[in-house]
Amino acid sequence: MNKILRNKRTGDAIFSGLFLLPIILLVGLFIVMPIIQSVIMSFQDYGARNLISGKPGTWNNFENYKSLFRSGLIANSIGITLRFVAIVVFFEFFIGIILALILNSKIKGARFLRSLMMMPWVVPTIVSALIWMWIFQPQYGVFKALVEFLSGGAVDNFAMLNNPQTALWGIILAALWKLTPLMTLLLLAGLSNISEDLLEAATIDGANKFKLFWKIILPSLKPVIKVSVLMAIIENFKQFPLFWTMTGGGPDGATETLAVLSYREAFVSFNHGSGAAVTTIWLLIMIVIVILFNMAFRED
């Protein structure tokens, strides 16, 4: 009997190994190895020359990091990235939870509204960028007309993306437009899992709407909130096409996030070492934030 069991175990192991091989190869060769390589590259002088000749990079005594800090580029990018992520995630959650509560309140046509709501989410990111650029267009844009109308004609030359003060907000709007639907959908799924009995019992006990929300709905949603907010943080940290298309990091570096900076260093200036240094710093920041986030949301 023991032998048969052991045979089954061996067979299971072979079968598992066989079926797991493709994903292990893919993740190993295309994710783990490149990450390690780019961390190594960040300590090297590695540019277009090395790419063409195939010569390995040479150790350059932290020069990539030093020059990024010396020029202030990295500090600027870290600040902008953190601001962007914090603002977008906050509003995504805020709008998302309100919308989810409304759509969950047995409103007429909720299913139809839910489908309609998801439309921006299926629009390709680059198309989202183009739609918003057209809305913000400095001469003929509809947003300029809206601002002119709302200010009673006082502001007649509003150019969202061309002004360092407002450019980031233009991209924040586009990101919110594209990403809030998914957040709402996930929160809505969480809401529909809360048992009716619990809500009813609390209402009978005299809890008003706000108490119901703080004491019952929010705590029961905690696991869903954790996942969807974490997804939003990671997603926005990685945001690239919106920035690259809408402003290219400008004007005057006002929207140059870590993603834009690393891409420009590596693929426009062809200084792969410097680009890799940016992504290494970026990776470290992300790991710290995810750890902090998980600590904050730890199950008590």
User: Using CA of residue 69, residue 73, residue 75, residue 78, what is the dihedral sign?
Assistant: negative
Q: Which amino acid is at 142?
A: V
Considering the complex, what minimum distance in angstroms separates the CB of residue 65 from other proteins?
15
For other proteins, the closer CB: 168 or 262:
262
For other proteins, the closer CB: 148 or 253:
148
Report the C-alpha gap between 95 and 120 in whole angstroms: 15
Considering the complex, what minimum distance in angstroms separates the CB of residue 178 from other proteins?
10
- For the stretch 96-103, contacts whose Cβ atoms lie closer than 8 Å and that sit 24 or more positions apart, written own/partner, are 96/180, 96/183, 96/184, 96/187, 96/228, 97/187, 99/180, 99/184, 100/184, 100/187, 100/188, 100/190, 100/191, 101/191, 101/213, 101/217, 103/184, 103/188
Residue with tokens 């580029």: 73
Report the C-alpha gap between 271 and 168 in whole angstroms: 26
Report the C-alpha gap between 86 and 175 in whole angstroms: 12
Considering the complex, what minimum distance in angstroms separates the CB of residue 61 from other proteins?
20
For other proteins, the closer CB: 41 or 171:
41
For other proteins, the closer CB: 75 or 268:
268
Considering the complex, what minimum distance in angstroms separates the CB of residue 82 from other proteins?
15
Considering the complex, what minimum distance in angstroms separates the CB of residue 88 from other proteins?
14
Tokens (6 digits) for 265? 């260093």
